[in-house]
Amino acid sequence: QKEVEQNSGPLSVPEGAIASLNCTYSDRVSQSFFWYRQYSGKSPELIMSIYSNGDKEDGRFTAQLNKASQYVSLLIRDSQPSDSATYLCAVKGRNTDKLIFGTGTRLQVFP
């Protein structure tokens, strides 16, 4: 079992829709969760971090964490073509200080 799993996609959504990106992790004692956006040929950009169960909102982005289900998600409201990118989920566990990345989900937002 991979430590952090994401659907590779592509996830295709129309402009203006809600894009839902999902991530599961295997280390039950993981503490910190991050979402990075990476445009093709560019470096990862941190867009959200979440540490407690529940929702965290920042503009059009909402991160959701459910530690009991070992599940973290990212919702993008009013999706724009400029949101088209690969979204990387990263998890930091209590027993390791390293960031463990998922393989990323490619999001395509079409006009």
Contact footprint for another protein (CB under 8 A): 31-32, 34, 36, 42-46, 49, 51, 88, 92, 94, 97-99, 101-104
The β-bridge partners of 13 are 109
The conformational region for residue 20 under phi > 0 = left, psi -120 to 50 = alpha, else beta, is beta
CB 101 → another protein: shortest distance, Å? 4
**Closest CB 16 distance from another protein, rounded Å:** 28
* Cβ-based nearer residue to another protein, 52 or 66: 52
Tokens of 10: 């592509």
Q: Compute the least distance from the CB of residue 15 to another protein, in Å.
A: 25
Q: Whose Cβ is closer to another protein: residue 17's or residue 61's?
A: 61
Question: 8, 101 in Cβ contact below 8 A?
Answer: no
CB 49 to another protein: min, Å: 5
Task: Pick between residue 30 and residue 73 the one whose CB is nearest to another protein.
Answer: 30
| Pairing relationship of beta strands 30-38 and 85-93 according to DSSP bridges | antiparallel
End-to-end CA distance of the chain: 37
